[in-house]
Amino acid sequence: MKSITAVCPGSFDPITFGHIDIIKRASSMFDKVIVVVMKNADKVSTFTVEERLDMIRKSISDIPNIEIDSYNGLLADYTKIHNARVIVKGLRAVSDFEYEFQMALTNKKLNQNTETLFLTTSAEYMYLSSSMVKLIGSMGGDIRDFVPECIHDFIISRLNGKGSK
Ligand code: ADP
């Protein structure tokens, strides 16, 4: 039987319940799911790649068939190297669509063997993004509904200027 590997790429700066929902659903569909932190030169990140990987490890240790990785390069190359057939992305709103559509077509052009699969966000996470978590957390708001308890204190202390960077 053919074993299918999927990747869930993103910045995960930091991982939220929205990401976790997409990762869980991907894990139930594919034999192996690689969650990959993409080092995007365009995006200024708050957390280091190591910190993001560590938060992901802590947050999804209970989900089966998962590997966690980071990559500094093109997603199309990553999928080739790892023989991944599917890129799983979450779609929140129409605002995500144009960018994601362009990325999907570009990735297809660069690697014909990979398909992009869009999963509709779960309704309760429709508004949720890493930047919203950072905004609320840095202004003293409660982010417990948005991120797992095991990484909550770390996020808050980093947003308030403690730790590395
Ligand atoms: P963000 O846009 O929050 O910075 P990332 O770049 O880390 O997120 O996104 C990685 C993937 O996770 C993307 O496919 C994005 O659409 C998806 N995603 C992020 N937040 C949610 C959410 N609340 N619901 C569904 N998908 C999400």
- From first to last of its 165 residues, the chain has per-residue pLDDT tens of 579 999 999 999 999 999 999 999 999 999 999 999 999 777 789 999 999 999 999 999 999 999 999 999 999 999 999 999 999 999 998 778 889 999 999 999 999 999 999 999 999 999 999 999 999 999 999 999 999 999 999 999 999 886 655
- The predicted pLDDT at position 162 comes to 65
- The predicted pLDDT at position 93 comes to 80
- Minimum CA distance residue for ligand 1 atom 11: 10
- The predicted pLDDT at position 7 comes to 98
| CA–centroid distance, residue 164 to ligand 1 (Å) | 24
| CA–centroid distance, residue 1 to ligand 1 (Å) | 31
pTM (global) more than 0.85? yes
Q: Does residue 82 carry a catalytic annotation?
A: no
| Element of type H or E holding 18 | helix 17-27
3-state secondary structure of 100: helix
Which atom of ligand 1 lies at the shortest distance from residue 11's CA? 7
3-state secondary structure of 12: coil
Residues 6+ apart with CB under 8 A from 15: 52, 55, 56, 59, 60, 130, 147, 148, 151
- The predicted pLDDT at position 90 comes to 94
Q: Does residue 108 carry a catalytic annotation?
A: no
Q: What is the longest distance spanned by two Cα atoms in the chain? A: 51
Interatomic CA distance for residues 62 and 60, integer angstroms = 5
Mutate to test the pocket of ligand 1, among 8, 16, 20, 22 (most ligand atoms within 8 A of CB): 22
Q: Catalytic pick from 2, 3, 43, 162?
A: 43
* Cα 54 off chain centre by: 13
Domain 5-159: CATH superfamily is HUPs (3.40.50.620)
Q: Does residue 43 carry a catalytic annotation?
A: yes
Of 138, 115, 117, 155, the residue nearest 17 (C-alpha) = 155
- The predicted pLDDT at position 113 comes to 94
Question: HSE of 79 in the Cβ direction (CA atoms, 13 Å)?
Answer: 25
- The predicted pLDDT at position 1 comes to 57
